[in-house]
């Protein structure tokens, strides 16, 4: 642990990424994510890494995918409008299996919306923003310290699964300064870049899946002469139009992640032992929800809280079980209601699921959530 200090969420996220081995940042400034780029501009050269400001957000993700193929762990950061622009190449990274981390510090949308106001309205976009079928990992921290941790996890997952990973920060956490103590270097586990396990002579194929269903395409410049494409391809990496290959490829892309879904589903439970109502929350909203739940407990409500760090893949099992444990689930989110769709589906009518949307560009107050808890408690008591 390092000394305690005041640190901003965005800064912690950037520092976590560097700690996890990120040595390349490409991007385009946009509020409220710009501090990440600015941190990288100052600090990456100090560790021998590259920062480059590109001409737009599309180039911002293109350049990091190139750098990643050439062997550098790479990250870009943006907010809603830029995240929308990056969608095509996020899909590219998914199908071409290129490790890369995309930070989206969410702000109020759609479009330019309210650039300096907080929101959590890109939840579904993180899952479904690009065309075609693909899996997605998205993590959302709720504290400044966790912004660091999530960055480390995101980089590790992107390397382990060779897939784009989204960090869904929100303006609340991204711009929050709070006391943190960061882990020291030796406390941080780093997933190294995967390397070919056979030689070319042994018939190496760049996209042959290993036991964990993830392939080991060689870094460019290491003598393997691989081919990388956004077309559907077979184990060689070259395009294939065969229905069988197509099915296998798309399925494997999902399975490599879904098979360890529970392992990568991170969440916390608070006050859940005897809870009849559960509040499911994430990001900045979870902080307020905690305060509300604590207050409601003090007021005698049997309410608990499940705080999600892993947003995607959706915590299917956690939610299915949760619905069996409680009578009511409240889902406060700084949007018009997004994550609640999935909770409702998984709950399968086993518990009453209530959406508590907030889309006035302000953060929740503890009282708003507490009142909703009380209302729900009254309802399910009937």
Ligand X SMILES: Cc1ncc(C[n+]2csc(CCOP(=O)(O)OP(=O)(O)O)c2C)c(N)n1
Contacts with ligand X by CB under 6 A lie at: 28-30, 57, 81-82, 85, 112
Instruction: Examine residue 112 and tell whether it contacts a second copy (CB under 8 A).
Output: yes
Kind of pairing between the strands at 73-78 and 22-27: parallel
Position among 77, 151, 172, 214 found at the interface with another protein (CB under 8 A): 172
The residues in 43-102 that bind another protein, with binding defined as CB under 8 A, are 44-72, 74, 81, 88-89, 92
72 binds, among ligand X, a second copy, another protein, none (CB under 5 to 8 A by kind): another protein
How crowded is residue 169: how many other Cβ atoms within 10 Å of its Cβ? 33
257 binds, among a second copy, another protein, ligand X, none (CB under 5 to 8 A by kind): none
CA-to-CA dists, residue 188 to 55, 151, 182, 184, angstroms: 34, 11, 10, 7
CB of residue 348 to another protein, shortest distance in Å: 31
Whether omega before 110 lies within 30 degrees of 0, making that bond cis, reads yes
What is the rounded radius of gyration, in angstroms, for the C-alpha atoms of the chain? 21
Residue closer to ligand X (CB basis): 15 or 57: 57
Contacts with a second copy by CB under 8 A: the residue count is: 64
Contacts of 34 (CB under 8 A, 6+ apart): none
CA dist 16 and 143 (Å) reads: 13
122 binds, among ligand X, another protein, a second copy, none (CB under 5 to 8 A by kind): a second copy
CA dist 107 and 177 (Å) reads: 17
DSSP of 35-50: HHHHHHHHHTGGGT-E
Binding mask 331-370 for another protein (x = CB under 8 A): --------------------------------x-xxx---
Exposed (0-12), middle (13-18) or buried (19+): which is 117, by Cβ within 10 Å? middle
Contacts with another protein by CB under 8 A: the residue count is: 86
Binding site for a second copy (CB under 8 A): 58, 79-81, 83-85, 87-89, 91-92, 94-96, 104, 106, 108-114, 117, 119, 121-122, 124-125, 127-134, 229-232, 241, 243-244, 246-247, 250-251, 254, 335-336, 338, 341-342, 344-345, 348-350, 359-362
């Amino acid at each position: 642990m390092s000394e305690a200090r005041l640190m901003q969420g965005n800064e912690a996220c950037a520092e976590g990424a560097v700690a996890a081995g990120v040595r390349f940042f490409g991007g385009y400034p946009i509020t409220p994510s710009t501090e990440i780029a600015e941190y990288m501009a100052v600090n990456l050269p100090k560790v021998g890494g590259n920062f480059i400001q590109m001409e737009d957000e599309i180039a911002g993700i293109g350049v990091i995918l190139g750098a990643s193929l050439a062997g550098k762990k790479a990250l870009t950061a943006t907010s809603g409008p830029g995240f929308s622009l990056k969608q095509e190449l996020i899909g590219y990274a998914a199908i071409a299996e290129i490790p890369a981390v995309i930070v989206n510090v969410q702000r109020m949308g759609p479009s330019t919306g309210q650039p300096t106001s907080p929101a959590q309205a890109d939840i579904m976009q993180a899952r479904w923003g690009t065309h075609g079928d693909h899996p997605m990992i998205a993590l959302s921290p709720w504290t400044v310290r966790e912004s660091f941790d999530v960055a480390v996890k995101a980089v590790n997952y992107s390397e382990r699964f060779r897939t784009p990973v989204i960090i869904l920060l929100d303006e609340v956490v991204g711009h929050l300064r709070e006391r943190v103590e960061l882990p020291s270097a030796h406390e941080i586990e780093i997933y190294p870049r995967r390397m070919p396990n056979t030689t070319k002579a042994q018939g190496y194929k760049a996209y042959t899946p290993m036991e964990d269903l993830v392939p080991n395409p060689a870094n460019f410049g290491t003598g393997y002469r691989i081919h990388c494409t956004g077309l559907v391809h077979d184990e060689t990496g070259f395009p294939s139009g065969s229905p069988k290959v197509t099915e296998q490829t798309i399925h494997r892309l999902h399975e490599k992640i879904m098979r360890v879904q529970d392992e990568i589903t991170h969440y916390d439970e608070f006050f859940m032992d005897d809870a009849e109502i559960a509040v499911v929350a994430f990001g900045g909203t979870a902080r307020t929800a905690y305060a509300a739940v604590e207050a409601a407990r003090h007021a005698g409500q049997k309410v608990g809280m499940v705080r999600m760090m892993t947003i995607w893949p959706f915590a299917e099992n956690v939610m299915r079980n949760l619905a069996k444990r409680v009578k009511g689930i409240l889902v406060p989110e700084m949007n018009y209601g997004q994550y609640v769709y999935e909770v409702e589906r998984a709950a399968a009518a086993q518990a009453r699921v209530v959406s508590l949307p907030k889309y006035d560009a302000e953060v929740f107050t503890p009282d708003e959530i507490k009142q909703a808890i009380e209302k729900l408690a009254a309802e399910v008591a009937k």
